[in-house]
Amino acid sequence: MKDQIERLVQEHLAREAQEKTRRHFIKSCAQGLGGLALSSIFMGCDPLIKQGKKSASTFSERDLNPLATLAPHYGPKVKSVIYLHMAGAPSQLEMFDYKPKLHKLDGQDCPESLLAGKKFAFIKGTPKLMGPQAEFKQEGESGNWVSNFMPHFKKVVDDVAFLKAVHTDQFNHGPAQLFMHTGSARLGRPSIGAWATYGLGSENQNLPGFVVLTSGGNTPDAGKSVWGSGFLPSVYQGVQCRSKGDPVLYLEDPDGVSRDLKKSTIDAITKINKEEYAKYADPEILARINQYEMAYRMQIAVPEVMNINNEPEHIKEMYGVEPGKESFANNCLLARKLVEDGVRFVQLFDWGWDSHGVVRSGSIDKGLRNKCTQIDRPITALIMDLKQRGLLDDTLIVWGGEFGRTPMQENRGNKKMPYKGRDHHGDAFTMWMAGGGIKKGASHGQTDDIGFSGVEGRVSVHDVHATILHLLGFDHEEYTYEFQGRPFRLTDVEGNIIKEILS
């Protein structure tokens, strides 16, 4: 540890010496002359300087603690969000969107009119229509359809609101996942979790405002950009925790390092970073200060909140948790614990929902059913657990994939796949929401007789985002961030609140 501190001191002295060299002076002059001219236009390089009211060396609570709580535009319906993303895109036709006519058309050639002008990821030639591979019943007082792939879910069907005609213009996993979580199919935009924590902060200063949990043995196709901060300060990106092993890597201090020594070290680093910010006014320096402080506080808070072993046995049984393993059930229980402790946004990614029929695990009748079994009990438990604790009214749960699946059986060049599968489909798929501000038992939107296109109540990804922000208390059209000379927003230049599912 002593060697590390000495190295930090030497690096700091070397940097100061470098800045005093003639080469550095000439370089700074060359760049600085342009900066002087631009500063008169853009009010200088310090993003915190607004009309001369603040200097670079003045630090507000929000500057030094970017996760300090802030008030939204108007009264929010919820305090936190749990977003359940099924990476790979589950088939709505085997889960929630019942199409008896499609069952009657099973095995018939798909009409050419449905294929003309359409883009598919893999389908070539003329595919066969494929009926639902699950049995459906109307459940609860709402009478919403739920398949036998989700037997537990019928217990909470009256607590959710379905969106049956969501559409997207993306048909490949990576871009579609980026679009679903950042509002853009291209890299560089902040995720919805980053927007939420940037605008509201966190109610628990000892934990990150945005936590990510993954299961299924892999991360989403779009990578960690789906929980990134984009052009927002990096402190707002999602912090990935693990349900197996240490929740955060390198959380513990090395042998021989006490808490007092660690705190003294962080205080010294913070002092240096403040001096650096006074020189360069780089907002990432403020983010760095907060991340050091957050890491110090997390060493105490994270092991407790991420420990599911101390939960009562009946709760662990209700979720079907698997202590010591990475599982979606574990993550659902952790999500409840995290929002209970004041975390603003919890994102669960469960990988393995791609059902092309190439392999058995990726088949509609076998693989999809197994995936549904993995999520059915935990999701039902999550809603019931939040409800019994009085937390559901303050929490929004969102469920869905990046797109849906085709009503046709996948073929590739008129060759039959080894197993039953469906291709990617963005024209119509199902999502649902539950919690504060959501109309219980609602169902908005309708697809045609075979589930190919939305014919009523079509909503876009931007509409979904606008609705989530609305429930958090934001006007999605006014909630912007200045970047590259113009205001950016999560919903770009589109989006309408889906009022039909609001209570």
| Phi/psi at 397 (5° precision) | -105, 130
Nearest one of 95, 86, 85, 120 to 424, comparing CA atoms: 120
With contact defined as beta carbons under 8 Å apart, do 366 and 360 qualify?
Answer: yes
Residue 31: is its pLDDT beyond 60? no
Q: How many CB atoms lie within 10 A of CB 141?
A: 9
**What confidence category does residue 47 fall into, taking pLDDT thresholds of 50, 70 and 90?**
very low
Q: How many CB atoms lie within 10 A of CB 420?
A: 19
Residue 22: is its pLDDT beyond 50? yes
Residue 270 lies in a domain: no
Beta bridge partners of 109: 128
* Separation CA 384–CA 159 (nearest Å): 9
Q: How many CB atoms lie within 10 A of CB 200?
A: 23
**What confidence category does residue 472 fall into, taking pLDDT thresholds of 50, 70 and 90?**
very high
Residue 210 lies in a domain: yes
Stretch among 268-272, 314-318, 484-488 having the lowest mean pLDDT: 268-272
Digit-coded pLDDT (tens) for 378-418: 999 999 999 999 999 999 999 999 999 999 999 987 788 89
Tell me the CATH number at 188.
Answer: 3.40.720
**What confidence category does residue 263 fall into, taking pLDDT thresholds of 50, 70 and 90?**
low
Stretch among 273-287, 295-309, 396-410 having the lowest mean pLDDT: 295-309
* Separation CA 132–CA 103 (nearest Å): 6
Residue 206 lies in a domain: yes
**Above pLDDT 70, what percent of the chain?**
81
Element (H, E) at 147: strand 144-147
Q: How many CB atoms lie within 10 A of CB 448?
A: 18
| Phi/psi at 11 (5° precision) | -65, -40
Residue 102 lies in a domain: yes
What per-residue confidence (pLDDT) applies to 259?
A: 61
- Tokens 């000439």, residue located: 26
Range of the domain at 245: 79-254+295-501
How many structural domains comprise the chain? 1
* Separation CA 308–CA 337 (nearest Å): 9
Residue 217 lies in a domain: yes
Residue 60: is its pLDDT beyond 90? no
- Tokens 């230049």, residue located: 493
Q: Which two tokens stand for residue 383?
A: 């809603």
Task: Write down the pTM of the prediction.
Answer: 0.84
pLDDT mean over 107-130: 89
Stretch among 1-15, 105-119, 193-207 having the lowest mean pLDDT: 1-15
What per-residue confidence (pLDDT) applies to 390?
A: 96
Q: Which range, 16-30, 152-166, 207-221, 234-248, is most confident?
A: 152-166
